[in-house]
């Protein structure tokens, strides 16, 4: 298996030029194996669900619909998703021999991804509670409890999570690290091509530094193959579609809220002022604070 690609520079020195393309196929095969293996395992294991609980102290007057994602959060998610898919296609499909103006599409999609990430950072700091995504010791314990229950049907039921379960938080943080690696190295690589913003400069870094830049960018891209494949797979699974629909509609129903979330940790309040004059549909939706106490 070719893990790294090397080539000779104009001075005859062998330099690193990126990851081996075999790693791309490894990521694709591993992703497919995970999806198929998980489907078989779920069928053999059988499903498991939380039973709905009675409303907690913080859920008095809970209506039928609970807001889970604001319009700004949903817009960020779908624009970022489109940019990410374009990046993956333009990065790896040309390896198969299909030629098209992929370089321009790739860096344009990269700038779109950067813009959405910057907007998400501003929106999170200004309008959301950053603490809602921190991983606490309690989250870790609940994550292990969920894992034990998934592996052993006789294990005690896992506690209900706050707004974001441990696996959601962990996935978010991994994607943040990998995406930042891809964006930072991608911006550096853009300096090597002509764009409407500047003329290329191939001598900004040394050959060795460029090699490490290509390596980090390639590893980030290969990692995103698995991360995106897993995200799409779980998004379309029957038991997870209620979460996917919440990213489309913005809300979850009362039954799923009580079945999967601890009302004391995700305390839903009815913000009548925010809904005033918003119409009949909005009157039936509870607005939840962006926190996970």
Q: Which residue blocks in 191-289 are alpha helix, DSSP H?
A: 207-236, 241-249, 254-260, 272-275, 280-283
Q: How far is CA 221 from CA 28, 30, 77, 183, 234, in A?
A: 12, 15, 19, 10, 20
**Is 81 a member of any domain?**
yes
Domain count, the chain: 1
**Is 128 a member of any domain?**
yes
Average pLDDT over residues 129-147: 88
**Is 94 a member of any domain?**
yes
**Is 187 a member of any domain?**
yes
How many other CB atoms are there within 10 angstroms of residue 181's CB atom?
17
**Is 266 a member of any domain?**
no
Q: Is the pLDDT of residue 186 over 70?
A: yes
Report pLDDT digits (tens) over 258-275: 999 988 888 886 543 333
Q: Is the pLDDT of residue 250 over 70?
A: yes
**Is 161 a member of any domain?**
yes
End-to-end Cα spacing for the chain = 47
**Both tokens assigned to 271:** 């913000």
Report pLDDT digits (tens) over 44-56: 877 555 554 555 5
So what's the pLDDT on residue 172?
95
**Is 281 a member of any domain?**
no
SS3 39: helix
Q: Given pLDDT bands bounded at 50, 70 and 90, which one contains residue 285? A: low
Of all helices (H) and strands (E), which one includes residue 65?
Answer: strand 65-67
Q: Given pLDDT bands bounded at 50, 70 and 90, which one contains residue 131? A: confident
Higher per-residue pLDDT: 104 or 129: 104
Q: Is the pLDDT of residue 157 over 90?
A: no
Q: Given pLDDT bands bounded at 50, 70 and 90, which one contains residue 280? A: very low
CATH number for the domain that contains residue 134? 1.20.950.20
Q: Please tell me the least confidently modeled range out of 18-22, 67-71, 273-277.
A: 273-277
| Burial class (CB within 10 angstroms; exposed 0-12, middle 13-18, buried 19+) of 19 | buried
How many other CB atoms are there within 10 angstroms of residue 147's CB atom?
14
**Both tokens assigned to 178:** 């990998």
- Domain range for 238: 4-46+66-261
How many other CB atoms are there within 10 angstroms of residue 113's CB atom?
22
All residues at 6 or more sequence positions from 3 whose CB lies less than 8 Å from its CB, including other chains: 19, 20, 22, 23
CB-based contact 6:16 (threshold 8 Å):
yes
Average pLDDT over residues 71-82: 96
pTM assigned to the model: 0.84
**Is 9 a member of any domain?**
yes
**Both tokens assigned to 147:** 């894992």
């Amino acid at each position: 298996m070719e893990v790294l690609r090397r080539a000779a520079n104009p001075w005859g020195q062998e330099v690193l030029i990126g990851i081996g393309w075999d790693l791309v196929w490894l990521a694709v095969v591993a992703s497919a194996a995970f999806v198929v293996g998980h489907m078989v395992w779920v069928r053999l294991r059988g499903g498991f669900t939380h039973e709905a609980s009675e409303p907690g102290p913080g859920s008095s007057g809970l209506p039928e619909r609970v807001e889970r994602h604001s319009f700004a959060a949903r817009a960020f998610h779908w624009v970022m998703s489109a940019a990410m898919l374009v990046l993956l296609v333009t990065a790896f499909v040309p390896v198969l021999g299909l030629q098209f103006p992929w370089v321009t599409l790739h860096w344009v999609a990269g700038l779109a991804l950067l813009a959405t990430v910057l907007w998400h950072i501003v929106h999170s700091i200004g309008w959301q509670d950053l603490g809602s995504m921190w991983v606490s010791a309690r989250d870790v314990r609940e994550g292990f409890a969920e894992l034990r229950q998934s592996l052993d049907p006789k294990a005690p039921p896992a506690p209900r999570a706050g707004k974001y379960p441990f696996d959601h938080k962990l996935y978010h943080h991994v994607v943040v690290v990998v995406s930042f690696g891809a964006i930072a190295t991608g911006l550096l690589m853009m300096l090597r091509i002509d764009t409407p913003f500047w003329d290329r400069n191939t001598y900004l870094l040394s050959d060795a530094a460029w090699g490490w830049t290509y390596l980090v960018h390639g590893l980030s891209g290969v990692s995103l193959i698995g991360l995106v494949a897993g995200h799409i797979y779980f998004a379309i699974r029957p038991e997870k579609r209620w979460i996917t629909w919440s990213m489309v509609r913005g809300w979850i129903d009362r039954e799923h809220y009580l079945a999967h979330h601890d009302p004391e940790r995700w305390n839903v309040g009815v913000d009548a002022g925010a809904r005033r004059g918003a119409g009949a549909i909005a009157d039936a939706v509870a607005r939840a604070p962006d926190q996970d106490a």
